[in-house]
Amino acid sequence: MFAVHCLDHADALPRRLANYDAHKAHLAQGRVKTVISGPLVAEDGETMIGSLFVFSAEKIEDVRAFNAADPFNAANVWRSVSINPFLMRVDNRSLELL
């Protein structure tokens, strides 16, 4: 698995909203499987400031290519992207948390 941490440009919200449907469609297809994803938010709990993903893929190169093809990337939403291998040790998610 791979963790992807993206932080938005300060002025990215209009581009983020305009490209949300295309971004969501992108996550639903491809060789890279989305395990979890969602927006990072400011301390107010609402203002979107980035994105967090955990992907399942064969190689980090697949994740890099998948992320590079994301409509948010093409729309210059993200000012920084970090992609790291991830070893899940604990998974306490349950349906009531989702």
CATH number at 21 reads 3.30.70.1060
Which pLDDT score, from 0 to 100, does residue 90 have?
84
Assign 31 a pLDDT band (cuts: 50, 70, 90).
confident
pTM of the model: 0.88
Domain boundaries, position 46: 2-85
Q: Is the pLDDT of residue 92 over 70?
A: yes
Domain presence at residue 56: yes
Domain presence at residue 96: no
Do the Cβ atoms of 19 and 77 come closer than 8 Å?
Answer: yes
Domain presence at residue 66: yes
Evaluated on CA atoms 16, 22, 28, 33, the torsion sign reads: negative
Assign 88 a pLDDT band (cuts: 50, 70, 90).
confident
Which pLDDT score, from 0 to 100, does residue 70 have?
95
Q: Is the pLDDT of residue 97 over 60?
A: no
The Cα-based distances of 15 to 28, 44, 47 in angstroms read 20, 21, 14
